[in-house]
């Protein structure tokens, strides 16, 4: 316990400061992005995300990793590699359930996730 606690405190501190820039509002099932604080091209991508990525779970699952630095279900470190594999995985899942996501849509969704990740590590 003596070594675990400081390590946890440090992790939480890093996660809190590293993700200060992502404009997340609300929490739980109402967690969302503050679209007014997104640059123009990302606003349309966010509209697409709200439509395409909320069929099976709320946006909390998508946005939480920007606050914690860890993916909420499989607990992987959240970085450009995980963003890529998660986008691929979710697009495949969605198409499989008949909620089609086109290649162009997938590109704009991953562009938004990458933009947010960039913002979160500044
Ligand atoms: C067809 C249903 C479905 C759709 C649509 C969907 N998801 Fe998921 N999502 C899941 C399921 C089920 C999980 C649980 C983890 C798993 O099965 O891989 C999940 C987990 C996640 C996770 C956590 C991953 C982890 O490893 O902890 C993230 C982030 C995520 N989804 C983002 C998205 C994004 C972004 C979109 C839109 C492109 C999306 N999801 C659309 C079903 C869906």
pLDDT tens digits for 47-94? 999 999 999 999 999 999 999 999 999 999 999 999 999 999 999 999
Residue 12 has pLDDT above 70, yes or no: no
Residue 115: CB atoms within 10 Å: 17
- For residue 96, the ligand 1 atom closest to its alpha carbon is 1
**Ligand 1 mean position, distance from CA 90 (Å):** 5
Residue 34 has pLDDT above 70, yes or no: yes
CB distance 83 to 117 below 8 Å = yes
**Ligand 1 mean position, distance from CA 43 (Å):** 21
Q: What is the mean pLDDT of residues 26-55?
A: 96
- Report the pLDDT value the prediction gives residue 43, as an integer from 0 to 100: 97
């Amino acid at each position: 316990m003596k070594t675990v606690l400081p390590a946890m405190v440090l992790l939480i501190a890093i996660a809190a400061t590293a993700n200060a820039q992502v404009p997340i509002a609300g929490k739980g099932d109402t967690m969302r992005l503050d679209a007014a604080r997104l640059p123009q091209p990302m606003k349309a991508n966010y509209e697409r995300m709200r439509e395409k990525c909320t069929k099976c779970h709320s946006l909390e699952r998508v946005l939480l990793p920007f606050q914690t630095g860890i993916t909420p279900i499989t607990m992987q470190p959240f970085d450009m590699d995980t963003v890529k594999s998660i986008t691929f995985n979710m697009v495949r899942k969605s198409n499989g359930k008949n909620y089609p996501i086109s290649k162009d849509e997938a590109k704009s969704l991953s562009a938004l996730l990458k933009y947010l990740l960039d913002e979160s590590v500044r």
